[in-house]
């Protein structure tokens, strides 16, 4: 709220200097007296009050425009994130893709069909992401968190998911052949139609996985799996999996 205060009228010059005991002080008194008159004159000038109101109004207009354009800023941010992902497509390294993917996912943008093959995505956080038909082949996703992500029909062959969290993810019809899933958390994951040919599942957490309709486990290594559902290990061994731990960590 603007509060306008009218300054008190300065004393007359003769009255003011009559109280000055030392003549050398008169220039300083005169200087102060001059500015008192300036302040007094400006305090009575309504135009300055108008300017104050206009200043406050301009701030209000700025706030209104800021919020009205927030949608455009979000779209621009998403466009830049997709540019980062698409420009680095097929290349190794991160190239800013970790931050770009996380930002899009946090804004609930669908990542269907995204191609991050061969990318360095170590430690990425994509909980609840929709990665339907995404290409993660040969990607390094060690220590990543894809809990409750949708990875149906995703190409994840030869990808490194060591120590990653895939709990309650949907991996239906996903291609996981030759994938490194050592120590991964697959609790509650749905694996209907998934291809686990030659996948390394040593020490993986398998509590509650949906395994009865797995497409293939031939050549998969299942030594040391944790909390595997009843019947899974026997079924896997009968279908070409192995418990061998001879492969190097």
As a three-state string, the secondary structure of the chain is CCCCCCCCCCCCHHHHHHCCCCHHHHHHHHHHHHHHHHHHHHHCCHHHHHHHHHHHHHHHHHHHHHHHCHHHHHHHHHHHHHHHHHHCCCCCCCCCHHHHHHHHHHCCCCCCCCECCCCECCCCECCCCECCCCECCCCECCCCECCCCECCCCECCCCECCCCECCCCECCCCECCCCECCCCECCCCECCCCECCCCECCCCECCCCECCCCCECCCCECCCCECCCCCHHHHHHHCCCECCCCCCC
Judge if 90 and 59 occupy the same domain: no
Judge if 59 and 155 occupy the same domain: no
Reported as a pLDDT band with limits 50, 70 and 90, residue 51 is low
Look at residue 53 and tell me whether its pLDDT is greater than 70. Answer: no
Structural domain containing residue 22:
15-68
Judge if 79 and 152 occupy the same domain: yes
Percent of the chain with pLDDT over 70: 76
- pLDDT tens digits along 8-24: 777 776 666 676 667 67
- pLDDT tens digits along 89-119: 877 888 899 999 999 999 999 999 999 999 9
Judge if 59 and 112 occupy the same domain: no
Residue range 58-83: average pLDDT? 74
The predicted structure's pLDDT at residue 6: 55
């Amino acid at each position: 709220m603007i509060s306008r205060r009218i300054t008190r009228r300065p004393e007359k010059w003769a009255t003011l200097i009559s109280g000055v005991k030392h003549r050398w002080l008169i220039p300083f008194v005169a200087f102060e007296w001059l500015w008192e008159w300036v302040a007094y004159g400006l305090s009575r000038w309504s135009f300055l009050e108008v300017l104050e109101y206009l200043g406050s109004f301009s701030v209000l207009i700025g706030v209104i425009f800021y919020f009205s354009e927030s949608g455009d800023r979000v779209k621009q941010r998403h466009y830049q994130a997709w540019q980062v992902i698409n420009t680095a497509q097929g290349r190794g390294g991160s190239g800013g893709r970790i931050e770009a993917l996380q930002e899009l996912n946090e804004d609930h943008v669908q990542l269907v069909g995204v191609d991050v093959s061969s990318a360095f995505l170590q430690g990425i956080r994509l909980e609840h992401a929709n990665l339907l038909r995404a290409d993660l082949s040969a990607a390094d996703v060690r220590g990543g968190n894809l809990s409750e992500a949708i990875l149906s029909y995703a190409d994840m062959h030869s990808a490194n998911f060591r120590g990653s969290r895939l709990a309650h993810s949907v991996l239906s019809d996903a291609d996981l052949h030759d994938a490194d899933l050592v120590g991964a958390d697959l609790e509650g994951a749905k694996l209907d139609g998934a291809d686990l040919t030659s996948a390394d599942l040593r020490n993986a957490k398998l509590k509650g996985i949906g395994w009865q309709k797995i497409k293939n486990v031939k050549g998969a290594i299942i030594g040391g799996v944790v909390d595997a559902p009843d019947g899974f290990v026997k079924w896997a061994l009968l279908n070409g999996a192995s418990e061998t731990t001879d492969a190097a960590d």
